[in-house]
A and B are shown apart, each in its own frame.
Chain A
């Protein structure tokens, strides 16, 4: 979606509340469309499970503030990913003094009891993703799960496309190894090194 779809012409009648409303209306639309994305992404950025909601709140407040500046040239997911990264950095900075930086070990939250197999697959991948280094994790999450292009990730991360492709390749390899290791039928414990 593209926010700010409502025409705002010079000749509009004076608006005050409507301005605020439009802004929140835009926020609402972005929220509906991208809350899952932001939530999943923040969860994979080392934010403890109990703080994910708070961090995502801040993400959407920043989106709310910055939305007028988003012009649609870059995919909105890439734009939101950049905001997620910034908010998570702030979060880590504020917490790292008093607690070690947590790597996510997702507590088993029953989210969809009717599809436990898929839930387990999702959890297993979450666990495997958390073992990746940050750059590889961001690349694989954004490209394979969230559908951004490697070019988008390259721009977001400030690296070349080749670097992103390399990260993706390594991440896939490590994920396969991790997932094999997690399988109950007992593949060999392959370490990522």
Chain B
């Protein structure tokens, strides 16, 4: 710093222009609550750029995330795993999303049009204070939560609390209310999809990531979670196919075949019927 006076200002600015302790606590309560509810935040214009700056492993299917997020709004589920292709953009914005797909990644969901989820609480001051919680790992107790539960309001912590145990938070008496949107410009589209589809999409995206990074056990765990939370979810056919693939990946072809047969029996018109019939042979794709 060549100018000490300016340097003093920079330091003073750094020290005094951040959030107050109360603002930090309120902010974290809101972020934590929204994250636990499965909210994904707005889709950014430049996430493709972020993707480029966050290098991916070869074959890792992270690119699908953004396209899937876009699809979370439109909920147009047209699957094309057998014939990998990019999403078909219907306008320029879509083509931006399509660019986020890996070329060799069959899209889980095709999107008809892009949607940017946008949620804005009326004001951070209206957000309840967060809970004071202690972290308790539940890694060996999967599949007990049906929906993301809300944390327990309590005294406002200065910093983010540890993550609550789901079972404990499930008994919390007073969930944090969903933030309300600020008054919207009538000229701005406000058609939003329920968060459940976003969570579904995000979960299956994680499954694909797990499979792509050779973690089929984790993929299976995630699939079980999806099955429990979204027993009749919109992406059940995709879940079935991913489960077959995960079972193949963990070396259980017989079980994969049984799963495929059950999925076909339950949903003979599954868009993935050909892949399900091929069982573990469906792995040999580009």
Give residues in A with beta carbon < 8 Å to B.
8, 10-21, 23-25, 27-28, 31-32, 35-36, 39-40, 43, 50-51, 53-54, 56-66, 68-71, 73-74, 79, 82-83, 85-87, 89-90, 94-95, 97-98, 109, 111-112, 115, 117-119, 121-126, 128-129, 144-146, 155, 172, 175-176, 179
Which of A10, A14, A25, A172 makes the CB contact (< 8 A) with B135? Answer: A25
Whether the pair B216, A10 counts as a contact (CB closer than 8 A) is yes
Contacts of B26 in A (CB 8 A): 53
* A73, B41: Cα distance in complex, Å: 24
Whether the pair A35, B24 counts as a contact (CB closer than 8 A) is yes
Some 17 contacts from A to B, beta carbons below 8 A apart, are A11-B217, A12-B218, A17-B145, A20-B166, A24-B32, A35-B24, A40-B13, A53-B124, A61-B39, A71-B55, A82-B53, A86-B44, A86-B45, A86-B46, A90-B44, A90-B118, A125-B12
Given contacts A54-B123, A144-B10, contact A69 B54 (CB under 8 A): yes
* A115, B160: Cα distance in complex, Å: 26
Bin chain B's interface residue count.
35 or more
Given contacts A69-B51, A118-B15, A125-B10, contact A61 B185 (CB under 8 A): no
Whether the pair A79, B54 counts as a contact (CB closer than 8 A) is yes
10 tightest A-B CB contacts, nearest first = A61-B41, A53-B124, A86-B44, A36-B18, A121-B12, A16-B142, A16-B225, A122-B16, A14-B221, A18-B139
* A25, B164: Cα distance in complex, Å: 10
Which of A32, A36, A70, A124 makes the CB contact (< 8 A) with B54? Answer: A70
B21 nearest in chain A by CB position: A111
Q: Is B266 an interface residue (CB 8 A)?
A: no
A10 nearest in chain B by CB position: B215
Contacts of A123 in B (CB 8 A): 16-17
Whether the pair B225, A21 counts as a contact (CB closer than 8 A) is no
Main secondary structure of the interface of A (DSSP, over half): helix
Which of A14, A31, A90, A179 makes the CB contact (< 8 A) with B28? Answer: A31
Q: Is B27 an interface residue (CB 8 A)?
A: yes
Contacts of A98 in B (CB 8 A): 185
* A179, B8: Cα distance in complex, Å: 12
Whether the pair A145, B13 counts as a contact (CB closer than 8 A) is yes
Whether the pair B15, A94 counts as a contact (CB closer than 8 A) is no
Given contacts A61-B34, A83-B50, A121-B16, 4 further A-B contacts (CB under 8 A): A11-B217, A58-B41, A70-B54, A86-B45
* A145, B159: Cα distance in complex, Å: 22
Please give the distance in Å from B34's CB to the nearest CB on chain A: 6
Please give the distance in Å from B196's CB to the nearest CB on chain A: 15
Whether the pair A94, B188 counts as a contact (CB closer than 8 A) is yes
Whether the pair A13, B224 counts as a contact (CB closer than 8 A) is no
* A73, B57: Cα distance in complex, Å: 13
B140 nearest in chain A by CB position: A13
Q: Is B58 an interface residue (CB 8 A)?
A: no
Contacts of B16 in A (CB 8 A): 111-112, 115, 118-119, 121-123
Interface mask (B144-179 → A, CB under 8 Å = 1, otherwise 0): 110010000000000111110110000000000001
Whether the pair B49, A82 counts as a contact (CB closer than 8 A) is yes
Whether the pair A28, B39 counts as a contact (CB closer than 8 A) is no
Contacts of B47 in A (CB 8 A): 66, 86
* A71, B148: Cα distance in complex, Å: 27
